[in-house]
A and B are shown apart, each in its own frame.
Chain A
């Protein structure tokens, strides 16, 4: 059974700092890995999708990497801003239907 872990559960940084959010998973037989953003009481916004054959994806100030063999992914946020404050969820897709298994998320607070 796939398990996804995100540590720490919460993180507070000053504005402008570059930061890395970590995600680990137990079963390396994945289809893909996604990073999502969730604002309080809201749904999910997909940030980056990495296929199992890829090593990284970039979108603006965000860069996500995938090391399938070690079961790890990182989300790098450059020059953090208060608007980046949210919960960041990592999810891995496994199985024929590529159903997603989510981590508990990291709640990020960027202080002005």
Chain B
């Protein structure tokens, strides 16, 4: 149980275009979802926290107008990278958790984004 999927697994796009990444909890209801970014040989950095039905909370330094997060249902959250630039190329990973803060986060397999 507790499976989280991401789609697509990898994407290549041109600079200036927008890219949408989906994160789904397949067998549980995710009240809270998190989006992380990981650069090569670096750790995961939390970008934002989203609770179902409310606006996402962004970490300091993350542009909310550039990284649009929608958590419209208990099983789906989307991250849209708007007007992507080469420096946005990274590995994006989502995680999902049920309502209790003490519970573990279940991570998706990640989406590798390359902006040309």
Residue interface mask A98-109, B partner, CB < 8 A = 1:
111111110000
Task: Let me know if B32 and A97 touch, CB within 8 A.
Answer: yes
Known: A46-B106, A100-B105. A105 touches B93 (CB 8 A): no
Interface residues on A, range: 20 to 34
Beyond A89-B43, A102-B44, list 18 extra A-B contacts (CB 8 Å).
Answer: A4-B43, A31-B102, A32-B102, A32-B104, A36-B107, A41-B91, A43-B6, A43-B93, A43-B109, A44-B93, A44-B107, A46-B107, A49-B104, A91-B44, A96-B101, A97-B49, A99-B49, A104-B42
Q: Does A22 contact B (CB under 8 A)?
A: no
Q: Which residues 9-47 in B have Cβ within 8 Å of A in the complex?
A: 32, 34, 41-46
Per DSSP, chain B at the interface is strand
Set A32, A42, A101: member contacting B110, Cβ < 8 A: A42
Q: What residues of B have a CB within 8 angstroms of the CB of A43 in the complex? A: 6, 93, 107-110
Q: Is B112 an interface residue (CB 8 A)?
A: yes
Q: B59 to chain A: closest CB distance in Å?
A: 8
Residues facing A in B68-116 (CB within 8 A) are: 91, 93, 95, 101-102, 104-110, 112
- A51 interfacial by beta-carbon distance below 8 Å: yes
